[in-house]
């Protein structure tokens, strides 16, 4: 019995040390705030995406568009392109007004989709699987947290991401 207790104590100590190492490593990562938005004129139709990346005193703005797309695809593309732009592993807080994206991660819908072979609870295929896979791939090198913001509610950088997305949608 004493040997088992000793083994358990060693295992717990090892787990705590590993957690402390992970916490220390995470705290060394640059902390980036990323505001994303998508826009689409018609659904489908010409669309655009916009991203505002904030790190310390730096602000980087990105946008792009596609001639025939949907709003959800543009919302997803914004997240993907923002994560791609980060040159090294970061602690990223993503601010989005997309309920689909936020719920996919905060409510772990994406875990359910993966377990069901990319089928939703109603057994229909998940739309935009290609972009979900790209997003998951880009997320692997970062520590990501998600924050839902209300669209068009005066959140400065979310409003800027929206303007970038609309501008891009008009150029395609």
Helix axes 71-85, 129-139, angle to 10 degrees: 20
Among residues 64, 65, 82, 97, which one is catalytic?
Answer: 97
Residue 152 annotated among the catalytic residues of the structure: yes
Out of 75, 82, 138, 142, which one is annotated catalytic? Answer: 75
Give the domain range for residue 107: 30-171
50 is a catalytic site residue: no
The answer to whether position 67 is within a domain reads yes
Annotated catalytic, 38? yes
Domains of the chain: total: 1
Is residue 49 within 8 A of residue 65, CB to CB? The reply is: yes
CATH value at residue 110: 3.30.420.10
Residue 50 and residue 163 in contact, taking contact as beta carbons nearer than 8 Å: yes
Query: What are the pLDDT digits (tens) for 139-163?
Result: 999 999 999 999 989 999 999 999 9
Mean pLDDT of the chain: 91
- Residue 79 inside a domain? The answer is yes
Q: Model's pTM, two decimal places? A: 0.84
- Give a yes or no: residue 11 inside a domain: no
Residue 10 lies in a domain: no
DSSP strands (E only) in the chain: 31-40, 45-55, 58-69, 91-96, 143-148
Residue 3 belongs to a domain? no
pLDDT value of position 21: 54
Residue 156 lies in a domain: yes
């Amino acid at each position: 019995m004493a040997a088992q207790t000793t083994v358990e104590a060693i295992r717990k100590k090892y787990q705590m040390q590993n957690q402390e190492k992970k916490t220390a490593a995470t705290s060394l990562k640059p902390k980036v705030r990323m505001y994303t938005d998508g826009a689409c004129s018609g659904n489908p139709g010409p669309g655009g995406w916009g991203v505002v990346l904030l790190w310390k005193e730096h602000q980087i703005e990105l946008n792009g568009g596609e001639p025939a797309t949907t709003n959800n695809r543009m919302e997803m593309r914004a997240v993907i392109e923002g994560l791609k732009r980060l040159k090294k592993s970061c602690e990223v807080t993503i601010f989005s007004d997309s309920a689909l994206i936020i719920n996919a991660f905060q409510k772990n819908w994406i875990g359910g989709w993966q377990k069901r072979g990319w089928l939703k609870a109603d057994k229909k295929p998940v739309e935009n699987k290609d972009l979900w896979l790209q997003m998951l791939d880009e997320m692997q090198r970062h520590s990501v947290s998600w924050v839902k913001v209300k669209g068009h509610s005066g959140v400065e950088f979310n409003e800027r991401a929206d303007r970038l997305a609309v501008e891009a949608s008009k150029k395609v």
